[in-house]
Amino acid sequence: MQGKVLVTGGYGFIGSNFVRMIANQADVVVVDNFSVGSNRANLRDVPVKTVELDIRDPRMLDLIRDERPDFIFNFAAESHVDRSIVDPLSFVSTNVLGTANLLEGARRYDVTFIQIGTDEEYGEIYSGSFRETDPLNPSSPYSASKAGATLLAMAYARTYHLDVRVTRSANNYGPYQYPEKLIPKTVIRALHNLPVPVYGTGKNVRDWIYVQDNCEAILTVAEKGKPGIYNVSAGEEKTNLEVVTTILEILGKPNLIKFVEDRPGHDFRYSVDSTKLRELGWRPRTSFREGISLTVDWYVKNRWWWEGINSRVLEETPFRGSVNG
């Protein structure tokens, strides 16, 4: 990737991994408001220009005008499903109104817009996989707000002929993920010999993709794709119980699982078909077993990173991971 790139939410989980991937190729401007899920340490050794700003702020339009990027990658989002159940309005405000603000800047200054979506926009599916043309049926305030952002982005594409590309990926995991999410929380609680809570029976199914593979997919869409929507999936479907069990086996602590009351509106299974993306030449490089081993190893070796984060990870509360954050 060459030229100038503006990355919103670049100090979050997926955003920071993406910035690390392209920092030596492009002129990168990172925008972040450093709220929950963002961490200045995520890019502490990466030479990029950083602007502390909320994507809802009207000054975003001035920033886009002044920087004149070739691409805007919108990773900024409120992303934790459990938080959205408690505080839905903040998710609507950031994920919908914030995206609208960015789209308006992209429209005014003719910038290609890459919206980072989620497979949760489609809702649950018991068999088969969703394709990009399938209707949306989100279940949580989080997924509904992300679906709203996608619909607004595609409306800008149709109405204003703006070059908009949307990626909807399966559940991500890997380094720099906020500790409240399923995988890092399991690792951290296990390292403290604390019970690991699992919703319901733990049989809910997710397709898991290593964050580096998703970042490569997003870059592929930017470099080779056309306006439209692209699903991103690795074909690594696991139940939540399988994910937790695998982590505990790696750590040699298999007896820490504690089943808790299920979350309201907990979707049973997500699955998306990524044939359209794979036709551009993208393929996931990392198997789940390899990726989870790399991830566990990273959290074990980087206690300095997560010990300094003020989160509820050591509280015995239900949780599960979602795609962004």
**CA 51/CA 49 separation, integer angstroms:** 7
Which of these is catalytic: 119, 121, 216, 236?
A: 119
* Domain membership of residue 72 as a residue range: 4-171+210-232
Structure tokens at 108: 């005014």
How do residues 192-251 score in pLDDT, each as one tens digit? 999 999 999 999 999 999 999 999 999 999 999 999 999 999 999 999 999 999 999 999
139: domain CATH number is 3.40.50.720
Distance CA 14, CA 181 (A): 13
Q: Which of 11, 122, 142, 199 is catalytic?
A: 142
Output helix, strand, coil percentages for the chain, rounded to the nearest 5. 40, 20, 40
| C-alpha dist (Å) from residue 179 to 1, 5, 192, 311, 325 | 30, 28, 13, 7, 10
Active site residue 120: yes
* Residue 198 counted as domain residue: no
Is residue 185 one of the residues assigned to a domain? no
Digit-coded pLDDT (tens) for 136-170: 999 889 999 999 999 999 999 999 999 999 999 99
In a domain, 154, yes or no: yes
Share of the chain above pLDDT 70, in %: 95
**Alpha-carbon distances, residue 149 vs 97, 265, 317 (angstroms):** 8, 21, 29
Three-class secondary structure of residue 72 per DSSP? strand
Q: Is residue 39 part of a domain?
A: yes
User: Is residue 160 annotated as part of the catalytic site, yes or no?
Assistant: no
Catalytic residue among 54, 120, 124, 216, which?
120
**216 found inside a domain:** yes
Residue 322 pLDDT grade (very low, low, confident, very high; cuts 50, 70, 90): very low
Does any domain span residue 137? yes
- Which value, in Å, is the radius of gyration of the alpha carbons in the chain? 18
* Domain assignment present for 70: yes
Work out the number of other CB atoms within 10 angstroms of the CB of residue 187.
27
Residue 277: CA count within 13 A, CB half-sphere: 29
Say if 313 falls within a structural domain.
Answer: no
How far apart CA 153 and CA 169 sit, in angstroms, is: 17
Counting the structural domains of the chain, the total is 1
User: Which SS3 state, helix, strand or coil, does residue 11 take?
Assistant: coil
Is 62 among the residues known to form the active site?
Answer: no
